[in-house]
Amino acid sequence: MTAKILIVDDDPDTAELLVRFVTSDTTETRVVTESAQAERAFEEFEPDLVLLDLHMPDLDGFEVLRRLQGARTALGFLPVIVLTGDTGKSARNEALVLGADDFITKPLDRHEVVLRVRNLLHTRQLYTDLANTNQALEKALRKQS
């Protein structure tokens, strides 16, 4: 499976660092450095996972999470990892309440990012496989009816 990862971070250096962390033969990445463009990029790119900075000008990561909530729900399980230098519990808890699946504090550790991305992409693949199997079973049952 080729995984598509959308990176939303207003700091181009951090975004480039994340690209280097997650790029492999099985990933395709897209970077958005203006949070106001995150929703459109999400719809066009159709990622399997989103890496989202929490504190950005214009729309912050909380607002991006709110705006993506409906689209993410429609797609089933689509993980979002929030990235931030904010080590406070309230930021983490709010992000999790708004649908973030994981939370990584900066400075970023390459191994931690890679492991968390890999784990959530694996879970996404399992979800996708299960959804496809359910569709095939429903189709087979309709043919028998």
- Cα separation of 123 and 125, whole Å? 5
What is the pLDDT at residue 117?
97
The reported pTM is: 0.92
65: nearest Cα among 105, 35, 44: 35
Q: What angle do CA 119, 60, 105 make, to 5 degrees?
A: 40
Class for domain 3-144, per CATH? alpha beta
Domain-wise residue ranges, the chain: 3-144
Contacts of 59 (CB under 8 A, 6+ apart): 35, 36, 38, 67
What is the pLDDT at residue 79?
97
pLDDT truncated to tens, each residue of the chain (145 aa)? 689 999 999 999 999 999 999 998 889 999 999 999 999 999 999 999 999 999 999 899 999 999 999 989 888 899 999 999 998 899 999 999 999 999 999 999 999 999 999 999 999 999 999 999 999 999 999 998 7
What is the pLDDT at residue 124?
95
